[in-house]
Structure 1
Amino acid sequence: MASELYPYPAELDSDDEGSIEYDWENDSQIDDDGLSFDMDRLQIRGGSAVPGTPLSGTPPPRATRPPNNTTAHLCAPPKPLCVACKARSVYKNYVTCSLACIEKLCKDGPVDTTMCTYCHRRTKITGKDQCGETCAENAKIACLLCKVRPRNRRYHLCGKTCKSIATKSTPLILEIPKGHMTYDMVETKFKKGWSAPATRGPQPTISKIYKIIENDEFLRPYELYRQRVGPKESYSCGLCNILKTSFNVDVAKGNGAFGKAIYTSTASNKAFSFCGAAGAMLLTKVVLGKVKQVNGWNEVMSCPPGFDSVVFDRKFGTHNLNETIVYSNDAIRPVFLIIFQ
């Protein structure tokens, strides 16, 4: 059970655990040569046909031409073309014609970049990415990969198909559009974690935020470690440039205040002090397990027996300089990448 001091950040454990139920249908384009009709479901207005029974009796009269002042709708309107290939019509109410084109859309984007990035049916408003208010609102909660369907509950993607496509290219970083609910969540965490006094300078401006997508093999050691030490976690920001291999205690400097370890902080101002104005920062998820509270530097120089992490809650008035230290590579994984102007 998570404590109040170190709350469990469910919004950071999103695409990494459990199954995503809501998904793209198996929408491979139907081959015209193999097209068949289910006659058992055929309904004829004004009569009925019983499966297996031949129709008999007098044939119905030939349809007459409608009067000049009416219109006969004999054919359904043509379906729009797939936004990825522009060669075949879309499947049902999707924007693509097949699973292959869903993947193409996710990787390469639409063929026509003048169209709304959400519905792909109407042109963008000048200076905007969408065609109107409805699509602009839908885009704020859209899947970060395909961008044409709403994300599934607390997940950042819409379904298993998009997750499968994303993990084929891991490690992968997806730029999150400004105004998206995920962008706002990360930006809010950074701002709320900033406690430096105004005399230390203004709060830095975030330029871009990226979602880091990793595969199951990358995340499995973290999940096993979390199950072993318990679900108590904390989100933290840390300076790092490691996306392919995550964190590695072996390359850490041995002269740290609490020994050779991975240092993070729940105080964004503390983490920012290590990366600088034009630097990058990772918002990570960290398994704390059983925490050893310390009151000063060098109080411990390795993970204390019986504990899984060390926390040094150092403050100067309202200025928070908290440090959270873990000694296992499996205790931490990157979730979001923040770039500053």
Structure 2
Amino acid sequence: MNAAVPPILSVLGTMAGQYIASQGQAAQTKQPVPANVTTQQFTGTATPAICDICKVRPKYFDGKRTHSYCGKTCATAAQNKHVPNSKPKRNKTSKATRGLCDHCHKQPKYNDGTTTHSYCGKTCAQKAKTAGTPAAQPIQLANPAKNGCLLCGKAVKSKGHFCSQACTSKAEKSAPGLIEVPQGHDTFKSVAAQFKTSWRHQTPCPTVRKVHKVIASPASIAKYDAYRAAVEGRGNFVAAGRSAGNENRRWHGTTRECNLGDNGNCTLCSSQTCSLCCILRTSYNLNLFGKKTGWGRFGQGIYTSSTSSKSNDYSTNINSSLRLKAMLLNKVVVGKGYKMTQDNTSLTAPPTGYDSVLAEVVNGGSLNYDELVCYTNDAIRPSYLVMYDA
């Protein structure tokens, strides 16, 4: 019995050796695990596929394929070292920043309904152009001929220059200031047409080159609106088919020391003697009456005219080399105007029961062209700055 044991053990040992050998061969011919999955070692533990460059971090897997490197840094390093098959990981723009202005990176890019521009608006487009950013072009407002918003170009549903309270508030924050009106805009056409049709001197009418909307402070506009409402309450002009307070647009020429309005310059100068910028900053001031001429045909008042060529006589550039002249188109509360044809330099207010003086041209009168004179600061506000050929 004991003699038969050794042969049996020998057979079992031979069979065990053959089994182990077959398992080893199977392990050697096993298919490799894809790189994006942990590789399986014979020890039974899992280790990640390691970056070909740093040999520390796992290779980057984008959901479809495994790249050769852990990220952009190592991919770039591999490219600089000319490592074969080195492709940097694409740096995708996040959805949060895609479509934002190329300059401020805060506001969405402006879309005019056809094209998405590089910038959120005219301000950033101009800043980018000044900074020398490639392909920085000022944006054009959408549908300018249809009286679009002067800030964003969207359609304006109600009377005014801005499409929403948001754009109105944004404009007011720049007060006192100017916003350039595109040449195709209804406002530009209206102002330029009034300038041309009211040019009555026997000289060629200059071409209007620029029109800027004047942005006054809400407090300044509130005072004007209150005065207009008071005049309307006395005169009931709306019931007669006129505008509230019998408001009209009238021209005023003055002195310009700076280059405001030229080459896109919308920044008021700080000179206390630049009449143009002083008017735009705080509106008209009766305390400055007679500063230029020393007198007035109809006393101490603020003078405007419906004749653009009349106001042109008072439009002066201190710098004679400037090729454009400046003129203001104002909104004026005429109310009940007192008609006069002869001078009265002693006036400090209109006659009792009237709100202004209407100086008319008649045969034998002292005027060649009409004038409108108001005697309170709140009866007038500048609306547009018009730049025209000198």
Could you say which TM-score interval applies, normalised by the shorter chain? Answer: 0.5 to 0.7
RMSD over equivalenced CA pairs, Å:
3.3
Counterpart in 1 of 2:73? none
- 1:330 is displaced (CA, Å) by 0.4
Work out the CA distance in 2 between the residues paired with 1:183 and 1:316. Answer: 35
Secondary structure of the equivalent of 2:303? strand
Per-residue CA distance 1:248-270 (angstroms, 9 max, x = gap): 01111162111111000011111
* TM-score normalised by the chain length of structure 2: 0.53
- 1:82 is displaced (CA, Å) by 2.3
Matching residue's letter, 1:274:
Y
Counterpart in 1 of 2:101? 83
* TM-score normalised by the chain length of structure 1: 0.60
Counterpart in 1 of 2:249? 235
Counterpart among 280, 293, 296 of residue 256 in structure 1:
296
Structure 1 unaligned spans of 5+:
1-77, 97-102, 119-128
Q: Which range moved further: 108-117 or 276-285? A: 108-117
Mapped pair 1:244 → 2:246 = no
Secondary structure of the equivalent of 1:243? helix
- 1:190 is displaced (CA, Å) by 0.9
Counterpart among 196, 200, 222 of residue 201 in structure 2:
196
Secondary structure of the equivalent of 2:224? helix
- 1:202 is displaced (CA, Å) by 0.8
Counterpart in 1 of 2:218? 216
User: Any conservation in 1 of the 2:144–2:186 contact (CA below 8 Å)?
Assistant: no
Counterpart in 1 of 2:334? 288
Aligned ranges 1:1-341 → 2 under 5 Å: 81-83=99-101, 95=111, 105=121, 107-109=123-125, 114=135, 138-140=143-145, 141-147=147-153, 149-197=154-202, 201-230=203-232, 231-240=245-254, 241=276, 242-253=279-290, 255-275=295-315, 278-298=324-344, 301-303=347-349, 304-314=351-361, 321-341=369-389
Work out the CA distance in 1 between the residues paired with 2:253 and 2:383. Answer: 13
User: Any conservation in 2 of the 1:196–1:320 contact (CA below 8 Å)?
Assistant: no
Work out the CA distance in 1 between the residues paired with 2:169 and 2:134. Answer: 25
Per-residue CA distance 1:231-263 (angstroms, 9 max, x = gap): 212210102411111000111116211111100
Alignment CA distance shift 1:90-1:330 (3 Å): closer
Work out the CA distance in 2 between the residues paired with 1:196 and 1:185. Answer: 20
Alignment CA distance shift 1:331-1:284 (3 Å): same
Q: Which range moved further: 321-330 or 240-249? A: 240-249
User: Any conservation in 2 of the 1:315–1:321 contact (CA below 8 Å)?
Assistant: no
- 1:169 is displaced (CA, Å) by 1.5
Bigger Rg, which one = 2
- 1:171 is displaced (CA, Å) by 0.6
Higher RCO, Cα 8 Å, sep 6+? 1
- 1:139 is displaced (CA, Å) by 3.4
Secondary structure of the equivalent of 1:324? strand
Per-residue CA distance 1:94-126 (angstroms, 9 max, x = gap): 759xxxxxx9646423868848866xxxxxxxx
Secondary structure of the equivalent of 2:189? helix
User: Any conservation in 2 of the 1:83–1:95 contact (CA below 8 Å)?
Assistant: no
User: Any conservation in 2 of the 1:82–1:95 contact (CA below 8 Å)?
Assistant: no
Alignment CA distance shift 1:180-1:292 (3 Å): same
- 1:172 is displaced (CA, Å) by 1.5
Work out the CA distance in 2 between the residues paired with 1:313 and 1:146. Answer: 42
Higher helix share: 2
Alignment CA distance shift 1:266-1:309 (3 Å): same
Matching residue's letter, 1:145:
L
Q: Which range moved further: 301-310 or 217-226? A: 301-310
Secondary structure of the equivalent of 1:298? coil
Q: What is the identity percentage for the equivalent residue pairs of Structure 1 and Structure 2?
A: 32
Alignment CA distance shift 1:81-1:329 (3 Å): same
Alignment CA distance shift 1:175-1:113 (3 Å): farther
Work out the CA distance in 2 between the residues paired with 1:152 and 1:109. Answer: 26
User: Any conservation in 1 of the 2:280–2:382 contact (CA below 8 Å)?
Assistant: yes
User: Any conservation in 1 of the 2:101–2:120 contact (CA below 8 Å)?
Assistant: no
User: Any conservation in 2 of the 1:290–1:307 contact (CA below 8 Å)?
Assistant: yes
Secondary structure of the equivalent of 2:280? coil
Alignment CA distance shift 1:168-1:320 (3 Å): same
- 1:142 is displaced (CA, Å) by 2.6
User: Any conservation in 2 of the 1:175–1:209 contact (CA below 8 Å)?
Assistant: yes
Matching residue's letter, 1:218:
S
Per-residue CA distance 1:288-341 (angstroms, 9 max, x = gap): 122110121127623222211000111579x97110000000000000001122
Alignment CA distance shift 1:209-1:185 (3 Å): same
Matching residue's letter, 1:224:
A
Number of aligned positions between the proteins = 235
Work out the CA distance in 1 between the residues paired with 2:373 and 2:309. Answer: 17
